[in-house]
Structure 1
């Protein structure tokens, strides 16, 4: 195989590792169990399939996954209880991993969601190697790239090198975890990132806007932060919003383990466990963002109004539209 083809193959494999993980079509099982040792919340024995959704209970919450063949982390963000005794409406906001590998059957399923807008948080390099979204007729994704601080390029360099010493130097010794915390802080500190999240919240709040889906590559970091912010803005308790964030480990765990196994079998990585901090979501990463939020804006409300520039009308429209 030529060097160019090796680089391309490595980059394609990586399209799910940077702020999201390898193309979801390689996962055969869909409803992935939690990975051993991951920072996921525990699911109860009451998991069940119900029509087009798989319902999985986390304590008092029910998380509603839409099973697909070409994506593993598509979920309805509705169903959560709020401080005021309300409940987030279902069928209006969806969060997902990349949609570039959807099958025809998947597209039919997604069409049934009635989406009127899809927002893509991926950077251009991810779209180039992982593929543009495959969507129902009439839908075109809106690109709102959120920075990964160069993580995707770093991973391409590390894995395509095939050098275990270089890979350890780049990702080992806590460096991968530190990189992730830095990325989460930029969700708060970067004006460009804040503008992308704010624009999406305004879209969701808009009266004429129908069901909306947003996603990144794995649907866990950029998408996870967006979901955490939206749920808290709706008055969902912090603990519930954090459990929704951590649930990506449950849905992605088995698939991500297969990715690591494939990298080892291919000879690209002697120690693919170096990637685990990049594949998982962790409370520590979320805490880095919320600590930055408190430092910069004093409170979550300050972040919404000063950091994201949302006025009281937008916040009220979110409540009116999404909470019953």
Structure 2
């Protein structure tokens, strides 16, 4: 079950901080129509987007050109490097664990820019996927991923976004970076740019006053941007004889509302509100929360 924004932000401190962006009963069609997701077109990555452009509850807008979300950047072409250089990034944060970096490679970035490694655990997901595919055994793959097991594994991954102290520290550190008034444009990413990156983006948009419905649309948009690429991956696995039924990995390739809800249910159980998760769980003080709004919304 989704948490309402009013429930997520219900504390005295949050009320004081967010009084200027108190939501109406629901976001209307004008608000939805005004939000346009801006993809950064690259050949070597399919899910890099500018997080700016979203309207907040009070009619302000998240500034473009300051925060970018993405999938991994290890396969950027020379043309891609020129595009990324044009973003003027001051920092790139990589949420991937070492196994992912080992398999896909380190980020390929413009000269003078190096990624900050800030690994957020995937709860063993990447290793599980490699083991299943590498077995080439349809029976084992079905046992590992079939009958709802892949989707159940994903919900557990999302719960760790709330339950793991190390994960919370890394999400919090990234939000503190983004609140720094002296920071330049920043990009954060994981492997596919949909789960760890999706949770970070959902948090950020909600914390600066974007309606939960818009933040969730941004989260779910990864399915659109990744669909063609992910379909080619499945077809490649089948053609190579690695998987008889590559559709088993669809729950691992997609984002789903049920995954996001698993994290939100854990958040509500442990903290009661988004504000308490941000302050107690992520270690953000009111100065940081106000800084996010002040720097990113105008």
TM-score (norm 1): 0.82
**Structure 2 residue aligned with 1:288:** 262
Deviations 1:99-126 (A, max 9, x none): 0000000000000000000000000011
Offset at residue 60 of structure 1 (A): 3.9
Say if 2:224 is the partner of 1:254. no
**Structure 2 residue aligned with 1:204:** 178
Say if 2:294 is the partner of 1:320. yes
Deviations 1:251-279 (A, max 9, x none): 00011001000101111000000000000
Q: Does the Cα contact within 8 Å between 2:34 and 2:55 map onto a contact in 1? A: no
SS in structure 1 of the partner of residue 261 of structure 2: helix
Offset at residue 288 of structure 1 (A): 0.5
Offset at residue 302 of structure 1 (A): 1.1
**Structure 2 residue aligned with 1:152:** 126
Cα RMSD for the two superposed structures: 1.0
SS in structure 1 of the partner of residue 259 of structure 2: helix
Q: Does the Cα contact within 8 Å between 1:73 and 1:251 map onto a contact in 2? A: yes
Say if 2:98 is the partner of 1:135. no
Query: For the residues of structure 2 that align with 1:302 and 1:232, how far apart are their CA atoms?
Result: 13
**Structure 1 residue aligned with 2:6:** none
Say if 2:67 is the partner of 1:67. no
Query: For the residues of structure 2 that align with 1:76 and 1:229, how far apart are their CA atoms?
Result: 15
SS in structure 1 of the partner of residue 60 of structure 2: coil
Deviations 1:223-281 (A, max 9, x none): 00000000000010000000000000000001100100010111100000000000000
Q: Does the Cα contact within 8 Å between 2:93 and 2:117 map onto a contact in 1? A: yes
Q: Does the Cα contact within 8 Å between 2:96 and 2:190 map onto a contact in 1? A: yes
Query: For the residues of structure 1 that align with 2:128 and 2:194, how far apart are their CA atoms?
Result: 19
Query: For the residues of structure 2 that align with 1:285 and 1:150, how far apart are their CA atoms?
Result: 16
Offset at residue 61 of structure 1 (A): 1.6
| Paired residues for 1:11-90 under 5 Å | 59-90=33-64
**Structure 1 residue aligned with 2:190:** 216
More helix by share: 2
Offset at residue 85 of structure 1 (A): 1.7
Query: For the residues of structure 2 that align with 1:109 and 1:182, how far apart are their CA atoms?
Result: 36
Offset at residue 58 of structure 1 (A): 6.6
Q: Does the Cα contact within 8 Å between 2:90 and 2:113 map onto a contact in 1? A: yes
Say if 2:84 is the partner of 1:110. yes
TM-score (norm 2): 0.89
| Paired residues for 1:94-105 under 5 Å | 94-105=68-79
Say if 2:245 is the partner of 1:271. yes
**Structure 1 residue aligned with 2:17:** none
Deviations 1:18-73 (A, max 9, x none): xxxxxxxxxxxxxxxxxxxxxxxxxxxxxxxxxxxxxxx97442000010010000
**Structure 2 residue aligned with 1:125:** 99
**Structure 2: any 5+ residue segments left out of the alignment?**
1-30
Query: For the residues of structure 1 that align with 2:283 and 2:243, how far apart are their CA atoms?
Result: 44
Extract structure 1 runs of 4+ deviating beyond 2 A. Answer: 57-60
**Structure 2 residue aligned with 1:18:** none
**Structure 1: any 5+ residue segments left out of the alignment?**
1-56
| Paired residues for 1:155-174 under 5 Å | 155-174=129-148
Query: For the residues of structure 1 that align with 2:77 and 2:125, how far apart are their CA atoms?
Result: 29
SS in structure 2 of the partner of residue 136 of structure 1: coil
